[in-house]
Amino acid sequence: MKALCDGNALAEAIGKAIKAVSTRTTDPILGNIKIDAARGTLTLTATDNELTVETSIVADVPEEGSILVPGKLFNDFTRKLIGERIELDFTSGKFALYYADSSSEFACIPADEFPEVPKVSDEQSFTLSQKNFKDLVGKVTFSVCQDDARPVLKGVLLEIEGDSVTAVALDGYRLAKCVKEIRSATSSISAIVPARCLNEISKMMDDSDDDVKLLIDKSRLQVDLGHTTLTTVLISGEFVPYRNIIRTSFETVVTVPCEQFADSLERSMLLSRDDRSNPVRFEIGERRLNVSLVSGMGNMNENIPVLTTGPDLTIAFNAKYFIELLRVCGTDSINIKFNSPADPCVIEPNGGTEDFLYLILPVRIN
């Protein structure tokens, strides 16, 4: 194998592939990046058996071939070579890089030991804008479960029906739901996708209105972004019947300004830094939301002007759950809906068509 390419392009391609290089595996092969040189193209592939990234750049290829190189080392090394014209050479039994008046050699492995890149048929697919996909992912993935004992809840449920896609994530204490318009779909589709993989796919998109097409079969989801293709396995199992959890009628509704609310909650987190289980208390009255906390580091008592309908209420929550949703909700104010101190609250944007919905369980207080 022999190929010549731009150092910037190579570093960028390796930076994409490294996202799928396994860091926790018993299979050392998965710690490598596969390099294929053929027909004026250099293709880099990495997989951890959950996420697979395949990305290509333009190259001069005097001699075709394939090789496996250590992923992390190769990524760290090539990031220091941007701006150089690089020659990759594996013609003498050793893998070498030539740049400027210098050269370096790397340990390598035969490429035939690398897993086959999975292919997904286009029988089932849906299309939406990249902007909508990024927003959809950003508004729900932070709510997935981190417990390996419940693998289904480490994924995001995607439901494609009609002209919209609904994404749902929950961890047993909170639920996040977001609905976005799609431009086309072959059929109704339901799939559970690992949240980590959705985040990596989202990072490689931009905030444009350009279409992105997602292919789904029984076991995988695949996205083609031009020079880069990302494939993720789907999580098998039954997702929680989330519609049964979300109530539709409420006694007390509070309209809260997001920025002021978030600042107050951030201050409460500072005081409960050494005791994350210490809840923040909300006392809801007419035109006032009192946010208070008592901890070993100090006490806090703040009033936020709000619009309120329904009876007064005192209830407590883990402040972290509200802070995380306020960071991504993208609206000036929210409506928080309550029934009792023991029932979960529901949060929706104030005004306009519903885009997101969050549900948070309260913490018991004396």
- Do 20 and 228 meet the contact criterion of CB atoms below 8 Å apart? no
pLDDT of residue 276: 62
| Per-residue pLDDT at 22 | 84
| Cα distances (angstroms) measured from residue 74 to each of 108, 245, 266 | 11, 48, 40
Alpha-carbon distance 58 to 335, whole Å? 51
Q: What are the tokens at 326?
A: 């306020």
Q: How confident is the model at residue 89 (pLDDT cuts 50, 70, 90)?
A: very high
Domains 2-113 and 125-243 share a fold: yes
Question: In whole angstroms, what is the distance from residue 328 CA to residue 243 CA?
Answer: 22
Superfamily of segment(s) 125-243: DNA Polymerase III, subunit A, domain 2 (3.10.150.10)
- 27-31, 117-121, 272-276, 286-290: segment of lowest average pLDDT: 272-276
- Rounded average pLDDT over 220-234: 96
Say what the pLDDT of residue 275 is. 66
Of the candidate CATH numbers 3.30.460.80, 3.10.150.10, 3.60.130.10, 3.30.70.3000, the domain formed by 247-360 belongs to: 3.10.150.10
User: Tell me, what's the pLDDT at 148?
Assistant: 84
CB 4 within 8 A of CB 63: no
Using a 10 angstrom Cβ sphere, with 0-12 exposed, 13-18 middle and 19 or more buried, the burial of residue 150 is: middle
List the end-to-end C-alpha distance of the chain, in Å, as a whole number: 71
**Token pair for 164:** 């919209």
Give the residue extent of every domain in the chain. 2-113, 125-243, 247-360
* Of residues 21 and 278, more confidently modeled: 21
**How far is it, in rounded angstroms, from Cα 289 to Cα 297?**
23
Position 142 confidence tier, pLDDT thresholds 50, 70, 90: very high
Q: What is the pLDDT of residue 11?
A: 93
- CATH superfamily, with its number, for domain 2-113: DNA Polymerase III, subunit A, domain 2 (3.10.150.10)
